[in-house]
Structure 1
Amino acid sequence: MRADRLLSLLLLLQNRGRMTAPELAAELEVSVRTVYRDVEALGASGIPVQADRGPTGGFRLVDGYRTRLTGLTDVQAGSLFLAGAPGPARDLGLGADLTAAQLKLQAALPAQLADRARLIQQRFHLDAPAWFRDADPVPHLAQIAQAVWDQRIVRTHYRRWSGAVHRVLWPLGLVLKGGIWYLVARAAEGGEDASASGQAEGAVRTYRVGRFLAVDTLGEGFERPEGFELAAYWEESARRMEAATRRKTAVVRLSPRAIRLLPMWFGAAGVRALATAGPSDAEGWVRVELAVESEPMAVGDLLRLGAEAEVLGPPELRRALADAVAELAVRYRAGSDGPGSGTDPGTDLRH
């Protein structure tokens, strides 16, 4: 709406001082011609906007003028909780509201605090996604977020590892973890034909938002479980998942370089392993007990350490790693000119 844009223009000039027409156009995502028309509209409404000509010119408010029109809408106030994460705010459809809320907040601050807020924005930035991994496509995120906010039941088509399923869900909250969105929801008993009448029987589960193939918001509302707290549920759920996936313990000998890499590649499990590590030997290697997942996953994870680590036990994991390394040696045998060349792929180079 033009009224919102005029207010944003006014607050930009109040918070940042002199700005050129191209700078304002970029901030407001409009054309330079639209900026000139909006500045004229502000002047006609009694706002003292001054235009300075020349290479260092631009638009500014007459010295001493400050507006008190800084009231936040409900959506803008809520979006301030995402002020450190502009990407997720855009995913949820709150990008414009976040920008408007920040401008209004800056306008309401005393000059000294407003200057400090701008310095913080210039010096600190939160980038939620992990390195070298694209975020999930989440075409249904905004719709799911609206259902969470409105407490509306959704009928979904969800892709699991074992195949796609239909689920009726009571969406309780959204969590952003490592750049990936998760929906915490109560699953209805009775599959896709379930309704709110059975909500007390459903279990609270976690769903990866990027795996929803379709989402249909129903007109039926629901009551949140009494005493349910999203943060507490997520913390407990994360603990349960780690305990369930990392049931085995590998005894590993680590080089000095592997010691530095372990927390990066194994996260909290790596940190805990190093905290209880034995003394280093003459070469600087240490012996640790590392919590790992199932054998196939553990082999893949430990191979990342290459020659910087040696698995001492359990025996079956050591044998599995030896077999994997032997297979790799055959595949990347010395003197190979590429796939299909050289010796028989079945040759065992361990002998």
Structure 2
Amino acid sequence: MRADRLVSLVLLLRQRGRLTADTLARELEVSTRTVLRDIEALSAAGVPVYAERGRHGGFMLSPGFRTDLTGLNHDEALALLVAGSRRGAQAFGLGSALASAMLKVVDALPEGYRDTAAGRAERLLIDPEADLLSRRLVAEDVPDPIAAEVRRAVFAGHKLRIHYAAMDQTPKWRTVDPIGLVTVRDLGYLLATRSGTDRTYRLSRILAAEELAEPAQRPERVDLDRAWQERSTRFRTGGDQVTVVVRVNPARREDLVGTTLAVLAEEADADGWLRLEVTFQDSRHAEWALWQISTDAEALAPQWLRTSLRNRAAAIATRYGDSS
């Protein structure tokens, strides 16, 4: 781990020039003290890194310094393969590997291309952390040790023991046969079987993980895309799903549809609003989705949903009533 960090430190200084210890610490996700120790180690190893004092000072490499530091390790190569975005790699605990790999990729470019590529990269922003309304796009946190243990079991084909916190249930230990990993909208999932039955686990709900030595019972090859589609279909058609008839302002249609499992029917009302028949995962999901759209949507059926939304709105109105 330290060797990779030292390589990343050298590449950061090569590509960006003078950088302060605080900036290096932030980029490498370590403490300032660790950066200073790494600088000393590089100097002792003969790397020409030196400090420049003053208000605009920092650490620099001697002009023209270059060495062959661009070999990708296993995790870095893997991160590039799955990294449609940094957050996609982050979902599998590969965010740091991706950052390190990209430094090596840039450093491997011919010098004339390197500056051009860096300049063009500044003109592109993919998947920012917030949209135009400043709503933060929250990616779930999966501790690196847990993500690494899950990855090892998946790639090695070994059974995996996980301490899993299912929704509204007490966390339990369970042993599964891991099949593959999937990321959807920054959420990571483990596809597995348990006692021969398909199971899907949210990575952020795995509290601890342990790769076992016993081989997993699973097919030699797998079509993850097909497996995910089959599980998604079973999820949408099973459980405690509810069907809702709703009127919605056309301007908010996509906001509504984006929260549903399926749209069963749709037609335009005389006033220009849309009338849709949609399904939700359960009653709580339906109430939450309609509440987000406020007065731009109206649940027409079932009656229990109208009553629930009315009672919720009345409670809010009472709380914020005229205090005078």
TM-score range (shorter-chain normalised) is 0.7 to 0.9
Change in CA separation of 1:53 and 1:240 when aligned onto 2, cut-off 3 Å: same
Match of 2:109 in 1: 109
- Which residue among 247, 258, 261 is the counterpart of 2:252? 261
Unaligned runs of 5+ residues in structure 1 are: 189-201, 339-351
Percent of aligned pairs with the same amino acid? 33
State the alpha-carbon separation in 1 of the partners of residues 217 and 55 from structure 2.
60
State the alpha-carbon separation in 1 of the partners of residues 318 and 95 from structure 2.
55
The one-letter code matched in structure 1 to 2:127 is L
Q: Secondary structure at the match of 1:277?
A: strand
- Which residue among 29, 37, 41 is the counterpart of 2:40? 37
The structure with more radius of gyration:
1
CA apart distance, 1:170: 1.0
1:171 aligns with 2:150: no
Q: Are the equivalent residues in 2 in contact too, given 1:246–1:291 (CA < 8 A)?
A: no
Report matched runs for 1:299-310 at 5 Å. 299-310=287-298
Match of 2:273 in 1: 285
Q: Secondary structure at the match of 2:250?
A: helix
Q: Secondary structure at the match of 1:235?
A: helix
The one-letter code matched in structure 2 to 1:81 is L
Q: Are the equivalent residues in 2 in contact too, given 1:248–1:291 (CA < 8 A)?
A: yes
Query: Number of residues paired by the alignment?
Result: 312
Report matched runs for 1:1-351 at 5 Å. 3-28=3-28, 29=30, 30-31=32-33, 33-34=36-37, 36-38=39-41, 40-41=43-44, 45=46, 47=47, 55-56=55-56, 58-81=58-81, 83=83, 85-86=85-86, 89=89, 92=92, 94-118=94-118, 119-120=120-121, 123-126=124-127, 131=136, 135=140, 140-160=146-166, 161=168, 166-188=173-195, 202-212=196-206, 214-222=208-216, 224-244=218-238, 249-254=243-248, 258-267=249-258, 269=260, 276-278=266-268, 281=270, 283-294=271-282, 297-313=285-301, 317=302, 319-324=303-308, 327-328=311-312, 331=315
State the alpha-carbon separation in 2 of the partners of residues 36 and 127 from structure 1.
32
Q: Secondary structure at the match of 2:229?
A: helix
Q: CA RMSD in A?
A: 4.2
State the alpha-carbon separation in 2 of the partners of residues 310 and 158 from structure 1.
37
Deviates more, 1:14-23 or 1:47-56: 47-56
Q: Are the equivalent residues in 2 in contact too, given 1:263–1:270 (CA < 8 A)?
A: no
Q: Provide TM-score, normalisation by structure 1.
A: 0.68
Q: Are the equivalent residues in 2 in contact too, given 1:85–1:128 (CA < 8 A)?
A: no
Unaligned runs of 5+ residues in structure 2 are: none
Q: Secondary structure at the match of 2:159?
A: strand
